[in-house]
Amino acid sequence: MFDIDLSRLIEQLLYQPDSPMIFSSGIFLFLFLGFTLIYNQLSKADTVRILFVTLFSYYFYYKSSGLFFWLLALVTVSDYCIARAIGGLEQRNRLLRKTLVFLSLLLDLGLLFFFKYTNFLGETLCTLLTDWGIYVPSVISGSYLQAVVWQPRDIFLPVGISFFTFQSLSYTIDVYRGTIRPLNSLLDYTFYVSFFPQLVAGPIVRARDFIPQIRRPLFVSSQMFGTGVFFIIAGLFKKAVISDYISINFVERVFDQPDLYSGLENLLAVYGYTLQIYCDFSGYSDMAIGIALLLGFQFPKNFDSPYKSASVTEFWRRWHISLSSWLKDYLYISLGGNRHGKFRQYLNLLITMLLGGLWHGASLNFILWGGLHGVLLCLDKMWHTLCPVLCPLSSLPDRHNPQPKKRPLRGLVGGLITFHLIAALWVLFRAPSFAIAEKVFHQIWYKFEPQIFLQWCTSYKGVAFLMLLGYLLHWLPESLSRMTRSLVIRLPLLIKALLIVALIWFVIQIKSSDVQPFIYFQF
């Protein structure tokens, strides 16, 4: 009765290197439907349910990175054992406790370094040796010197390795600091590290926030369900409609060959990528938060309308909140934070942001991107110190005053300046090389040609409409956003289901190529 191609079905269920499984793909939606049917039947059997979700999470990771799920298992088991050992030692045994947490750092960061940075470090080191005039004897004859040349290794980068290593590492550090107690169940810890909604691209969920939810009786309130549906719809729209469309139909073309486009088109491509990366990454985070809510778990907010920021400091409080707070708590504060004077504070900020840039990718572009953000953060704090009257905020936020009063006019000016600084730095993030980034800026500065704007709007009607819509939705007042969310939450279940189906149908209609992986999969 049903004409099912079993070979094709099996092929879809196996790992496909060119097509990792993502939330917006048809195979995930199909599997997730079956998953939820079984999951709901296991609501009373906690251990079986946890085991079932863990196995599905490992399959989800297999569909993203093939047999490299052993890395996830290695990090999980080693950090679980190390944390148990740290928890079993008395506080006065500081040397052994430090040795164990150092072992966790060595293993997690060692794996991350090998898979992500080996070729980058090798190429950089060989280039430096050549620039310094250091040569080695020829391997063939030994009679003359030759430049040191790095032969790139064929090293596969497992999807999400930066996320799950940071998440697991934070657990062992928290156990060492005494802020949480080590888990007694390897299954519970495996569930925490591998939970599939946030496994491959965050948010980086802290153990103290997530672990208490693992053994809690499964309960999904109507509020949680409605909020989850809202986040899934919003995330899918951001990713599959706005981000993918403007990327494929405009941004990629310009960044591939910026010198073929006018300065105005290059500037619009910069604005397009600024919106694209936000919709792509926040779209993933929204879907992760929504899926977790449907399963009875709550994740912290990961994006808070970052382009509304009136300063670079505020931007990093709104952008990728789980990563920026991780870097602050485990790197910036560990370096000394702001406890040793202004100079050390600025130095710690620069180091933190340089390493944060390197975390995003093995490239000098990312290091420069992070370093320039560090410089801007330092300048922002200096400006608040030297000219507090001209600042958009009455004071810098802190734990005593997390939401200082805003000054509207100065906030508007600060917001425009901040947005364009952030957008300019995204060029370094997006461009595959310094040469491409230089061409983009060159075209904008020397070949602007503003008279072709109307022609561009006509030629790229869909792109122009979605960019305008995306920015308007982003800059909506928070009260209107909450009202929209409340409206979706109150809708009947059937209408919510129809909304999701309609959105999927719409995505299929406008899709002009295969499903696009999330940008942060490469990190």
pLDDT in tens, 62-71: 888 888 889 9
Q: Let me know whether 454 and 468 are in one domain.
A: yes
What integer pLDDT is reported at residue 162 of this predicted model?
86
Residue 104 lies in a domain: no
Residue 147 lies in a domain: no
Residue 400: pLDDT above 70? Answer: no
Q: Let me know whether 303 and 202 are in one domain.
A: no
Q: Let me know whether 254 and 190 are in one domain.
A: no
Q: Let me know whether 171 and 278 are in one domain.
A: no
| CB-based contact 117:362 (threshold 8 Å) | yes
Q: Let me know whether 231 and 213 are in one domain.
A: no
Residue 179 lies in a domain: yes
Q: Let me know whether 281 and 371 are in one domain.
A: yes
pLDDT, tens digit, for every residue of 429-469? 999 889 999 999 999 999 998 899 999 999 999 999 999 99
Side chain identity at 471, as an amino acid letter?
Answer: Y
| CA distance linking residue 87 with residue 74, whole number of Å | 20
pLDDT band at residue 90 using 50, 70 and 90 as cut-offs: confident
Residue 278 lies in a domain: yes
Residues with a catalytic annotation lie at: 360
Neighbours of 446 (CB within 10 A): 8
What integer pLDDT is reported at residue 393 of this predicted model?
62
Domain C-terminal end among 199, 218, 237: 218
Q: Let me know whether 180 and 237 are in one domain.
A: no
Q: What are the strands, taking DSSP E only, across 63-175? A: 135-137, 145-147
How much is the pTM? 0.88
| CA distance linking residue 463 with residue 472, whole number of Å | 14
Q: Let me know whether 89 and 171 are in one domain.
A: yes
What integer pLDDT is reported at residue 368 of this predicted model?
93
Residues 6+ apart with CB under 8 A from 123: 150, 152
Q: Let me know whether 311 and 418 are in one domain.
A: yes
Using the 8-state DSSP alphabet, how is residue 242 labeled?
Answer: I
CA atoms within 13 A on the CB side of 351: 15
Q: Let me know whether 85 and 212 are in one domain.
A: yes
pLDDT band at residue 154 using 50, 70 and 90 as cut-offs: confident
Residue 302 lies in a domain: yes
Residue 2: pLDDT above 50? Answer: no
pLDDT, tens digit, for every residue of 470-486? 999 999 888 888 888 88
Residue 130: pLDDT above 50? Answer: yes
CA 247, 251, 252, 253 dihedral sign is: positive
Lowest mean pLDDT among 19-23, 26-30, 131-135, 220-224: 131-135
What integer pLDDT is reported at residue 143 of this predicted model?
52
What integer pLDDT is reported at residue 495 of this predicted model?
81
Tokens for 339, please give them: 């406890």
CA 154 to chain centre: 25
What integer pLDDT is reported at residue 1 of this predicted model?
44
| CA distance linking residue 238 with residue 17, whole number of Å | 25
Domain C-terminal end among 175, 199, 218: 218
| CA distance linking residue 239 with residue 245, whole number of Å | 9
What integer pLDDT is reported at residue 513 of this predicted model?
53
| CA distance linking residue 455 with residue 467, whole number of Å | 16
Residue 125 lies in a domain: no
Q: Let me know whether 377 and 457 are in one domain.
A: yes
pLDDT, tens digit, for every residue of 370-399? 999 999 999 988 887 777 656 666 555 665
Using the 8-state DSSP alphabet, how is residue 307 labeled?
Answer: G
What integer pLDDT is reported at residue 89 of this predicted model?
82
Domain C-terminal end among 180, 203, 218: 218
User: 103-137: b or e for each residue (b if 16 or more CB lie within 10 Å)?
Assistant: bbeebbeebbeebbbebbebeeebeebeeeeeeee
List Cα–Cα distances, 152 to 119, 120, 121, 212, 360, in angstroms. Answer: 6, 9, 10, 44, 20
pLDDT band at residue 44 using 50, 70 and 90 as cut-offs: confident
Residue 426: pLDDT above 70? Answer: yes
Q: Let me know whether 256 and 197 are in one domain.
A: no
Residue 292 lies in a domain: yes
What integer pLDDT is reported at residue 361 of this predicted model?
81
Mean pLDDT, the chain, whole residue set = 84
Mean pLDDT of 225-230: 88
What integer pLDDT is reported at residue 200 of this predicted model?
74
Total structural domains within the chain: 2
Residue 251 lies in a domain: yes
What integer pLDDT is reported at residue 15 of this predicted model?
76
Structural domain including 76 reads 13-93+158-218
Residues 6+ apart with CB under 8 A from 129: 147, 148
